[in-house]
Structure 1
Amino acid sequence: MKLSLGPLQYYWPRLTTFDFYEAMAQTAVDRVYLGEVTCSRRNELRLSDWLDIAALLRDAGKDVVLSTMVLLESGSDVSAMRKITAQTDFEVEANDMGAVQNLVNQRPFVAGPHLNIYNAPTLQWMASLGAHRWVAPLEMPRSDLALMQQARPDGLQTEVFAHGRLPLAFSARCFTARHGNLPKDDCQFRCMEHPDGLLLKTRESADFLVLNGIQTQSARMHSLIDAWNELLALGVDSVRISPQAQHTADVIALYDSVRRGALSGEQARDALLPLLPGGEDCNGYWHGQPGMQRITPAPALAA
């Protein structure tokens, strides 16, 4: 099973972003997704910059995929998406149906996690349009994924979001700007002040959600590091790790340790928790429960 590094969801300074991917080139990750997927106002890096990073990672032996934005709100957003789908040097992850339309009958593509692929007919239709890999919806439980795997067309790979804050929703409004009493069109790029998003608490001071511009995320870090054997049994081809501001390389190393059998899932999770923003994880969706819950996997039966 391969390790994928998902697209950067946050807004980091230009040099920080370049330094981050130079470090990622030295990790055990097999595939890296690149590009701005959250907000078109985040313009520290242009497409030419992302292509430079893509070339660096490819030279380091990584498979590289360019991801399109999830929510297109303007003509310039559509134009940026078309430039990504028009280039032929790197594979493309389509995160909205406009991107899919631009890739149909052109070349194989990755069907991103926000395309709402929840049943077998939709999965088969997406494969007929040219998808050769799909990323399961973030809230899909393992029981539903098992059914999807049974109906999966030949040659279609499955990727599962296994680590990171879950991107739960997107809105035309910018919540980070609103928090600073700023209009969206004059946000002063406040997202850059929150490299792992802006934590939102309940009135009882419990961690609830994370605001990331127009995106709403889970407060807890979703992790399936101790479900590795379940993922293998389901025939999953790759798992996705989402970048975080600190310790991403260490997180990748722990998942790789489980992959190589150097650590058990339980041992890796114990080592993972101190590396997480907030120090807590969740896996409720995987078990068909509320996503913020943490469910302890049942122990494996002795042979």
Structure 2
Amino acid sequence: MRISLGPVPYHWPRADLLDFYARAGESSADVIYVGETVCAKRRELTPDDWLDIAARLAETGKEVVLSTLTLIEAASELGTVKRLCGQGRFAVEANDMGAVQLLAAQARSFVAGTAINIYSGRTLAVLHRDGLRRWVAPVELGRDAIEGILDEAGALGVRDGIETEVLGHGRLPLAWSARCFTARAADVPKDRCGFRCIEHPRGLPVHTQEGRRVFTINGIQTQSGAVCDLCDLWPELAAAGVDIFRVAAEGRHSLAVVEAMAAAVRERRAPELPPDDEPVCRGYWLGAAGMEPPA
């Protein structure tokens, strides 16, 4: 099993992003995803900057994948996606079907992100014909569902040509909307948001009246309130057919998780994670409500 570092979902200052990826290049991650996936208004880094970061990471021996926007709302945003899909050096994680079509038209292989609705082996087979070489399973799929999809893909003769990746640590991306919830929380219009999300480097927590954290607001994205943690279940993921364990890029703590997971897989043991007081969930993997904590 390999370890990947997902794209940074939050709006961080330019210096913080550059520092994070410099550290990521020195980490034990096998695969690193880079690019803006949430909001096109976030322009701390330009497409040229992302390509430069990708080149520097590649020099360290990492497999680098460029991630595209998940929700495209304007021609200018589509133009950025076309540029990323059109460059020929790095693989692309397609996070909407527009990017899939662009890549398929160029006969380029691609990674399907979690927002691509893949719920059957037949869907995998269809996308495999279009160039899919890896899929990041939708976060609501559990062990039994993934095993069933891979079994069906095997019966269709495509499983051996496809890698399976699962988000094993980090907040779960649940939904995207044309409305910016961070702007709404600040009582400002979306088109004059003032980039308020840069003030919340790990999102805005949303609690019930009883005080339970249920969601995290990240601009137009809604995430889980708790951190999904499947780290100690990595042998179970591997047995289910998962090839790559993804760690969400949510700060320097994430790089420590990468190191712990890499050591655990290499030494065939349970991971020794850094201390963290965040609430934890893993219900989806077990076929239960997603916010359910470990037993």
The TM-score normalised by the length of structure 2 is 0.95
For residue 237 of structure 1, report the CA deviation from its aligned partner. Answer: 1.1
1:285 aligns with 2:292: no
Q: Match for residue 210 of structure 1?
A: 216
AA aligned to 2:32 is V
Judge conservation of contact 1:96–1:115 (CA < 8 Å) in 2. Answer: yes
AA aligned to 1:47 is P
Q: Match for residue 188 of structure 2?
A: 182
Q: Match for residue 141 of structure 2?
A: 140
The number of aligned residues is 289
Judge conservation of contact 1:287–1:295 (CA < 8 Å) in 2. Answer: no
Q: Which runs of 4+ in 1 moved over 2 A?
A: none
For residue 279 of structure 1, report the CA deviation from its aligned partner. Answer: 2.3
For residue 95 of structure 1, report the CA deviation from its aligned partner. Answer: 0.7
Please give the alpha-carbon distance, in whole angstroms, between the structure 2 residues aligned to 1:235 and 1:23: 30
Please give the alpha-carbon distance, in whole angstroms, between the structure 2 residues aligned to 1:44 and 1:295: 37
1:248 aligns with 2:249: no
Please give the alpha-carbon distance, in whole angstroms, between the structure 2 residues aligned to 1:101 and 1:78: 12
AA aligned to 1:220 is A
**Structure 1: gaps (5+ residues):** 297-303
**Which of residues 131, 145, 159 is equivalent to 2:165?**
159
For residue 19 of structure 1, report the CA deviation from its aligned partner. Answer: 0.3
For residue 10 of structure 1, report the CA deviation from its aligned partner. Answer: 0.3
Show the 5 A alignment for 1:1-303: 1-105=1-105, 106-152=107-153, 153=158, 154-261=160-267, 263-265=269-271, 268=272, 271-272=273-274, 274-275=275-276, 278-296=277-295
The TM-score normalised by the length of structure 1 is 0.93
Give % identity.
Answer: 45
**Structure 2: gaps (5+ residues):** none
Please give the alpha-carbon distance, in whole angstroms, between the structure 2 residues aligned to 1:246 and 1:130: 34
Judge conservation of contact 2:280–2:294 (CA < 8 Å) in 1. Answer: no
AA aligned to 1:91 is A
CA RMSD after TM alignment: 1.2
For residue 289 of structure 1, report the CA deviation from its aligned partner. Answer: 0.5
For residue 35 of structure 1, report the CA deviation from its aligned partner. Answer: 0.4
Moved more, 108-117 or 237-246: 237-246
Residue deviations 1:22-44 (CA, integer Å, cap 9, x gap):
00111100000110000011011
Please give the alpha-carbon distance, in whole angstroms, between the structure 1 residues aligned to 2:115 and 2:133: 16
For residue 112 of structure 1, report the CA deviation from its aligned partner. Answer: 1.2
